[in-house]
Amino acid sequence: MKLFAGNSNRVLAEAVARYLNIPLGKATVKRFADQEIFVEIQENVRGEDVFILQSTSFPTNDHLMELLIMADAFMRSSARRITAVIPYFGYARQDRRSAGRTPISAKLVANMITRAGCYRVLTLDLHAGQIQGFFDTPVDNLFSVPVMARDVKAKYKQINNVMVVSPDVGGVVRARALAKRLDAPLAIVDKRRDQPGQSEVMNIIGEVHGKDCLLFDDIVDSGGTLCNAADALLEAGAASVTAYITHGVLSGGAVARITGSKLQELVITDSIQPTQAVMDAHNIRVVSIAELIGEAISRTALEESVSSLFD
């Protein structure tokens, strides 16, 4: 087994390598003057079980091309099996035709990864579960729920006062999984989205008065939904509002929006390498998924069950 990484999240890759007690593979991933990507594998991988850790986060297209070119390099170097470890799967929000004459980009990306030579994909909290069916190869979709549940139990002494909240109807299944682990009640924020990137909170489904509310979702991008949901929950009498989000995309002015909001804290994972602005924010905290990813890689290499991680 050998673990390699592109440029998207070297810090996480190094942490996973430490957990697996193996060195991070040697590879050069650089750019020519015109920004064309060049990859060179600097060690023998013939017959090896190769794992490429690469989030397709900003700049999404560059990091996706790095992954595809690395996979091609390993295939042509006679690696026995290539697994793409994609903690954050970009283009996952384009999983269906939302209007006429629009693409299903998640399917296109799945085809590209498969054709590049990847035998298996290992990812975390896909935005839409059906994307697993877009691949013609096995896909292991890991869940951050165990990591988040441990953090909640360590932070809240009175766990019986916690209420898990889904920021929209589409995330109810995900929020229910966390609520079940915490043995906590569930509430839903009913919102209407007039156009992409903007949302308007309509009402709260559930009694949140006096509760420590935990907003749980997979992606925070602009932060508008979270901030609006936090305002609505506090207006409904919530004692506090904390957000637990797997993928901290946090584009544009999202960090400033979060730091200026009524959120007590935003907890994200390191599936996307945090920027300096994120690290400096007083109410944003990062928890590591290195152990989860590392254990899944180990079990995949040993042909052991990955789903048992969540039993």
pLDDT tens for 152-176 read 999 998 899 999 999 988 889 999 9
pTM over 0.75: yes
Fold classification of 145-288 is Rossmann fold (3.40.50)
Domain spans, the chain: 2-143+291-310, 145-288
100 is in an annotated binding site: no
On whether the CB atoms of residues 296 and 122 are closer than 8 A, the answer is yes
105 is in an annotated binding site: no
Question: What are all long-range contacts of 300-305, with beta carbons under 8 Å and residues at least 24 apart?
Answer: 300/51, 300/83, 300/120, 300/122, 300/140, 301/1, 301/49, 301/51
Place of tokens 């099996």: 81
pLDDT in tens, 23-82: 999 999 999 999 999 999 999 999 999 999 999 999 999 999 999 999 999 999 999 999
Answer whether 2-143+291-310 and 145-288 agree in fold. Answer: yes
Task: Report the SS3 class of residue 248.
Answer: strand
Sign of the C-alpha dihedral computed for residues 90, 96, 98 and 102 taken in this order: positive
- The domain 2-143+291-310 is classified under which CATH number: 3.40.1280.10, 2.40.100.10, 3.40.50.2020, 3.40.50.1820? 3.40.50.2020
- CA–CA gap between residue 88 and residue 64 (Å, rounded): 11
Q: What are phi and psi of 306, to 5 degrees?
A: -95, -35
48 is in an annotated binding site: no
- CA–CA gap between residue 196 and residue 226 (Å, rounded): 15
- From 2, 107, 153, 191, active-site residue: 191
Is 155 an annotated catalytic residue? no
